[in-house]
Amino acid sequence: MDFVLPIMVTSQVIPLIVLAPFFIILFGFGLCSKIAMAAVISFFPIFVNFAQGYKSIDSNIHELMHINNAPLKFRIYNVYFPLSMGSIIAGIKISSTLSNYRGYRS
C-alpha cells in the first residue's frame, strides 16, 4: 500500500483544467465526460481513507490471516474491507462534496 500512495499523490498534482479537455476528447461533451471527471476527483479521498483504515487494522489480524493461509479474496472481502468500512465512508463523505462542483456546466 505504501508504494501506491506516491503515485496517487502525483496523479492529484495534475490540474483539473488540464484533464478536462482530455475527458471531453475521450468521452465527448455529454454526461460521460462529467461523470469521469467526478470519478477522478472523488477517487483520491476514498483511496487515502481506505489506506488509512487498512493501516489501522491490528497486526494480529494480519498475522492470523497469514497463519491460516487465507486466500487474498477472502481477506479482502471478509476482513480488510469490513474493518476499513468506517474510513471508506469518511472518504465518501469528503469526496461527495468535492465531486459536486458545479463550475463547469454545459
pLDDT per residue over 42-55, tens digit each? 888 898 899 899 99
Residue 31 pLDDT: 87
Q: For residue 84, count other CB atoms closer than 10 A to its CB.
A: 21
The mean pLDDT values, 10 residues at a time, for the chain of 106 residues are: 76 81 89 86 88 91 93 92 93 84 55
Residue boundaries of the structural domains of the chain: 5-98
Q: Rounded to two decimals, what is the model's pTM?
A: 0.74
